[in-house]
Chain A
């Protein structure tokens, strides 16, 4: 059973981007709106100020009219026309009418319809090849012939107004663009700060150790409370089911091994008592079979345990030489029984990030193999090397070595070599070693030494 392939989460869209887009779209719409509002308001103001000047000019002409000696005298003020040209060069036109009688100026100048007595009237029209703005005012005027309306129209070309409008357009554009730029920065900040609690939660959860299934307790925004609540309840269930399967594995190991041990002890007792050679052989074979099943059960459980732990690999610094020494001393009794010399070779400082129990299990399997397959008086050397880049844990023996051909095959589950000849085994040892090594980001190689003997190496990246 291999570790289930980690499925990458399917990502669809991004909250941050969506937030940003929505805000930017809003800002753009507002900026355009702002542009047009500023434009129209200031245009009105510009138009208003032009109209005011025109009306003032017309009124000053209107005010300069009087009757003297029965004749109309209009003392056109110099400023009446010159003030229309003071900022920008403008062509200027005027017309003075008494009722329907044209008095002076430009007779063809269009007249705004019915200027109110109090209010000046305005008109935009084409005149003498140019677009002009016309203001007209009037007042009752009494002559010897009776009462008539004296009306004055003054017109001006639009150079100055157009210049002002162009400037206003630029300013409005600047205002709009500035608003948008500012909003964009704000949108970025808002999106960032909105996403921050989510990032914080992600960080807090992914930083946790593999066994850490405590509920998330850090405060989160109200919108995220349901998510955290379901996450917490999910972890609670996971913890329950995890501890249940751990219990199950321990229980199963106990239940299988204990009766087998009893059977074996009883069989040995029987073997000692029985004198009949045939029965004795049968019992020996029985003990052998019991050993085999006990070992297989043990390794099956080991393997299950390894797979289980690999699902959720612990990540703590493991002092490799210390681990080697401890394991070697544990199997020391075994090797002495078989008269095999277990030697600690070069031990360089090396720390591997990972699960000490699994690493120990792997090493144990390698040592078991070496002790199993080597003849008495063979030597088994364990060494740890660290070149700063890669860490190498090596178990080398002077035994028969791996059977030539299909070495990778030996790593597969339940596959055993053709050199086993009666040696008890399940074919799971090297599988466990391989799984553990790969889960730690390392690789596992098996070779034969030049002078004969097996050489198994675990390589880990140096931290």
Chain B
């Protein structure tokens, strides 16, 4: 009894000290269970709940304490505040890489990690478990009498030919506030110069800037937007009303974000974290792969046009303050005209 009261007080105290911003939190598993695995993640609870439940079915006697935070808050919690989490799951590949690079992640070896493709692991610290392409989402209504653009060049041409129809009806990430948008944009520039031309064209047509994929998709669906560029396709396909828009994976190249996990050095339940990590990783690749993102969009695309963002120190380049400053300046001058 004393122990429960004490632990309650400790939890409250922990919640009070925690300075990073928690968006949501849920605890799964039997109350009586001994071991708790503390997870901090950028993915919504609803998105991850099936995975947690299937894990707890296999590992009864464990609890999963799932905290949702934005990728920058996650970074803050682990890097600045050294909060104790057993598992950090994030779509921000650059920040995950930085955590590992700065020695804040532990190495993890298991049969599962050994079977991962080379691009899905970095330094045995960061492990990717989804492949989520950046797509162009088009409103079916707006494109009823127009050819569907299959590549960025198509899109540029289309916008140039029909400036009036699309003015103010194009949406894309505001890379100044969205880490994922910044990641997609910087990777686009690495692959091709067309990104800058497209950004200029979009800027000229008064593109609207968004913080998140879901907002963009909603606006396409409502008809406010005709085109949403660099939308996380996994958000689009999981919606019920996919018949209201086209999801186009550009054929010139499709940037693919890898959602990844790592075990922070501050983990207190390392074994539990390793088990959960292996559980998440095992269905991700391999023969009976069933990615979390539902339909595996990457399967539809020729392997050669898939630009998987590479985990590794290359990502640190765009986190450099000088680099970021000059990139944002250039982007801003292209889009805000």
- Listed in ascending order, the chain A residues whose CB lies under 8 Å from chain B are 72-82, 84-85, 89-93, 96, 103-105, 128-130, 159
Contacts and interface: CB of A to CB of B under 8 A. Distances in A.
Sorted nearest first, the 10 A-B pairs with minimum C-beta distance are: A82-B314, A92-B313, A128-B103, A74-B322, A129-B103, A81-B313, A89-B123, A85-B312, A76-B323, A91-B101
Interface in B207-231: none
Contacts of A85: 312-314
22 contacts: A72-B322, A73-B326, A74-B322, A75-B322, A75-B326, A78-B314, A78-B318, A79-B314, A80-B317, A81-B313, A81-B316, A81-B317, A82-B312, A82-B313, A84-B313, A85-B312, A91-B101, A93-B101, A104-B320, A104-B321, A128-B103, A130-B103
A91 B316 CA distance: 10
A202 B103 CA distance: 77
Given A91-B100, A91-B103, A129-B103, A82 B321 contact: no
Given A91-B101, A91-B123, A92-B101, A81 B314 contact: yes
B320 A105 contact: yes
Nearest to A96: B322
B190 interface: yes
B234 to A, nearest CB: 26
Contacts of A92: 101, 313, 316
A127 to B, nearest CB: 8
Nearest to B189: A78
Nearest to A82: B314
Interface residues of B, number: 21
Contact of B190 (A75, A78, A84, A104): A78
B310 interface: yes
Instruction: Give chain A's interface secondary structure class.
Output: mixed
Interface core residue of B100, B121, B323 (most chain A CB under 10 Å): B323
B117 to A, nearest CB: 13
Nearest to B327: A75
A76 B102 contact: no
Interface core residue of B122, B318, B322, B326 (most chain A CB under 10 Å): B322
B49 to A, nearest CB: 32
Contacts of A81: 313-314, 316-317
Nearest to A157: B123
B326 A89 contact: no
A103 B321 CA distance: 9
B311 to A, nearest CB: 8
Interface core residue of A73, A84, A90, A91 (most chain B CB under 10 Å): A91
B317 A76 contact: yes
B322 A103 contact: yes
Contacts of A76: 317, 320, 322-323
Given A89-B122, A93-B101, A128-B102, A74 B323 contact: yes
Nearest to A83: B314
Nearest to A75: B326
A82 B123 contact: no
A405 to B, nearest CB: 95
B169 to A, nearest CB: 33
A96 B323 CA distance: 13
